[in-house]
Structure 1
Amino acid sequence: MRDLVVQVMDSRLSALLSQWRQAETVEGDPAAYFAAHADHLLVIETEGGANRYAHYGRAFTACFGQDLTGQVIDLLPADILPADRRFMLEFEYGFVRRTGRPLWRSYTALFGQDLPQTWQRLVLPAGNGRLVVGAYPVDVPPPAQGGEALLHLVIDRVPVVLAEDGGIEDLALSLGAFCDTSRHMAELEELASRDSLTQTANRRHFEHLAGLELDHARRMGRSFALLALDIDHFKRINDTWGHAAGDEALKAFANACRLSLREYDILGRIGGEEFAVALPNTGPDGARVIAERLRAAVEELVVRPAKGELFDLTVSIGIAQLREGDLTVETMLERADQALYRAKNSGRNRVMAEE
């Protein structure tokens, strides 16, 4: 079995594993200790019960376009860490901390220029609750038979526990349990982050995603804007045509907004008939153009409730722009709301920017 692992494991990970086995403990900075692998190394520390990147190798920055050093892993956006991989990482890190045993696996995902690549990764305990993760891209293995083909298949689906002699000690969990649990976790995360009626981000998820964009804009010195939207006279809709018609109006409104926004804009429902939009890399002029486009799209809507009557919608919109002292999305939303109230008081169905 040891020879089989040698044949399948990437040689760079084999060197990392050998260096780790020679050290009784890793003193000081693990990235410095494993300096030869630093570009392909992650150092994971615990912070308030969560996992945080203490070191984030340059190879990962090149793949994902962001340096995530210092970031808490379970707060990363889904385009960087989808729900199924978030579960995978949490499981692997918890397993290695509990058992003190190294885990090895491979995974295929979209990296770099959105091209599928296969990487092998090795998770190692480094003392004091720290973990060292080495990961390298590997070539697609040639067609193989027998044990080598089976081992490629196994490590692509479930983490493998490595024994002291360099062979395989065990599987971290069964293939079926890993796949079923991973799928279940992805479904739960989707339910927890989406508004069930409009299929937009709920308030918690919107503030999380918008907060990531705000932090990125502050670090990179880029523009960033928020829109606060409120459907005009929404209570009148519910009182006149019933709550079912109100639900249809909300769904039609959300769909019109999606069609009018750019792919990377973030739409969320933050209250009953209140929505918000985060606009990355958008200055005052661009934010007004997008807001007016949203307003016009909603004005053209015709909602057909079950009773057969028709009614239309309008929306009032407030704009807030990122300022030097803005540290949270809530601060910007407060100013966008103030501009929204001015739009309401000025006659509704209009866009107002913060003063």
Structure 2
Amino acid sequence: MQALVAKVMDKRLIDLLDLWRAAGPIADPSARFSAHADHLLVIDIDTAGNRYTHYGRAFVRHFGADLAGCVIDRLPADILPADRRGMLDFDYAYARRVRRPLWRSYTAMFDNGAQEETWQRLVLPAGGDRLVVGAYPVMVRHHEDPGAELLRMVLDRVPVVLNDDDGIDDLALSLRAFCDHQIHLAELEWRATRDSLTGIANRAHFHHLAGMELDHARRMGRPFTVLALDLDHFKRINDRWGHATGDTALRAFVTACRQALREGDILGRIGGEEFAIALPGTGGEGARLIAERLRQQVEQVVLRTESGETCAMTVSIGVVSWTERAPASVSPDDIAAMLNRADTALYRAKDGGRNRVEVAPEE
């Protein structure tokens, strides 16, 4: 098994493992593993949770943020998605418990989603409540040795525990447990990014998705529009027929929006009866027509309450667009700023009598 590990493990991780096995306690991980500093994480457990006390520059480049000093458990979902958080939580807890190196391979989108890469990661107990983690991008290559190829395939699915002789001691998960674990992570990711009532993107996830589309629009010189929407007199529905009817109204509103929108448009619930929509590749008159079509679609919704009464809905919409003609002073990379401008147009629609579409003037 030792020979198979040597064939499959990245040479840089082999060097890191040799340094870890060197005699003596690891008082200063940055000094012991200085050759790997850019690809190294040091994690200390304090009263707040798992905290990065060293965050290598390679991770800053690939993930777009320096998380040194941050508590992992408190990172927002747009920085650390639920699936990755679950994987890290499992690996770190397991390595601390067994006090042995944990080795795995994983494939994900890096460089802010620009490219897919495969990395190998080694989690090393460093005494007390400290872990040292090294990770490097690797070229995926198939091995002629059937044993090495099998190990590579297993490594892509479950973490491997190494023994004192650098051989394989155990699998951290059975394959059945791995499948159950992946299903659980998928459920966690869905809950972290979705509004529980309507199933559409929650506020944070909307900002994340819309932000990526806005950045793409800027790079490609394409128009981009954000709509701010607010259901008119929604409080009256809750007060008259109860919150259950209000929830039904919100779900019916989302259904109407989906019928009026295109496949690539992004719908999110910002809070309460407030919603937002991103329209990639659309600006000007095209965006206004979509907003008007959506307003008419909602106007046609009729709900029947438990008492047999009918309940109608209308929506007010504010529209703000960015185009390649925007002056340099306009920052196209801030969805929050665009939503603020769309909200201003939305309130003009409210003041103008509701059930209206108002377009923000170009800056």
What residue is the counterpart of 1:40 in the other structure?
Answer: 39
What residue is the counterpart of 1:314 in the other structure?
Answer: 315
Output the CA distance in 2 between the equivalents of 1:310 and 1:144: 68
SS of the residue 1:154 aligns to: helix
Q: Return closer, same or farther for 1:194/1:18 CA change in 2, 3 Å cut-off.
A: same
Report deviation, 1:20.
0.8
What residue is the counterpart of 1:185 in the other structure?
Answer: 185
Is the contact between residue 260 and residue 297 of structure 1 (CA under 8 Å) also seen in structure 2? no
What residue is the counterpart of 1:99 in the other structure?
Answer: 98
SS of the residue 2:20 aligns to: helix
- Does residue 18 of structure 1 match 2:18? yes
Q: Deviations over 1:88-137 (max 9, x none)?
A: 11100011122221101111222336333221110011234121110111
What residue is the counterpart of 2:249 in the other structure?
Answer: 246
1:1-355 matches, within 5 Å, as: 1-28=1-28, 30-76=29-75, 78=77, 81-112=80-111, 114-191=114-191, 193-202=193-202, 206=203, 229-234=229-234, 246-247=249-250, 249-252=252-255, 254-255=257-258, 267-271=268-272, 273-275=273-275, 296=292, 298-302=294-298, 303-305=300-302, 313-315=314-316, 344=350, 347-348=353-354, 349=356
**Paired letter, 2:297:** L
**Paired letter, 1:154:** V
More moved, 342-351 vs 112-121: 342-351
What residue is the counterpart of 1:223 in the other structure?
Answer: none
**Paired letter, 2:190:** E
What residue is the counterpart of 1:217 in the other structure?
Answer: none
Output the CA distance in 2 between the equivalents of 1:347 and 1:229: 15
Q: Deviations over 1:223-268 (max 9, x none)?
A: xxx997421133567869x7697245421465489769976xx832
% identity of equivalent residues: 51
SS of the residue 2:65 aligns to: coil
Q: Deviations over 1:124-176 (max 9, x none)?
A: 11234121110111121234232111211221111111111111111112121
What residue is the counterpart of 2:323 in the other structure?
Answer: none
CA root-mean-square deviation:
4.4
Is the contact between residue 45 and residue 51 of structure 2 (CA under 8 Å) also seen in structure 1? yes
**Paired letter, 2:15:** A
**Paired letter, 1:314:** V
**Paired letter, 2:182:** S
Is the contact between residue 227 and residue 317 of structure 2 (CA under 8 Å) also seen in structure 1? no
Output the CA distance in 2 between the equivalents of 1:298 and 1:87: 38
Report deviation, 1:51.
2.4
SS of the residue 2:133 aligns to: strand
Output the CA distance in 1 between the equivalents of 2:195 and 2:349: 26
SS of the residue 1:124 aligns to: strand
SS of the residue 2:25 aligns to: coil
SS of the residue 2:132 aligns to: strand
Q: Deviations over 1:163-213 (max 9, x none)?
A: 1111111111212102212221321341354224432244xxx368869x9
Is the contact between residue 229 and residue 315 of structure 2 (CA under 8 Å) also seen in structure 1? no
Output the CA distance in 2 between the equivalents of 1:289 and 1:72: 46
TM-score by length of 2: 0.68
Output the CA distance in 2 between the equivalents of 1:53 and 1:209: 27
SS of the residue 1:178 aligns to: helix
Is the contact between residue 161 and residue 170 of structure 2 (CA under 8 Å) also seen in structure 1? yes
Q: Return closer, same or farther for 1:192/1:14 CA change in 2, 3 Å cut-off.
A: closer
Output the CA distance in 1 between the equivalents of 2:345 and 2:71: 33
Number of equivalent positions? 317
Unaligned runs of 5+ in 1: 215-225, 279-287, 320-328
Unaligned runs of 5+ in 2: 212-225, 279-283, 305-309, 321-335
Output the CA distance in 1 between the equivalents of 2:248 and 2:166: 65
Output the CA distance in 2 between the equivalents of 1:34 and 1:144: 33
Report deviation, 1:344.
4.2
More moved, 243-252 vs 48-57: 243-252
Report deviation, 1:38.
0.7
**Paired letter, 2:254:** K
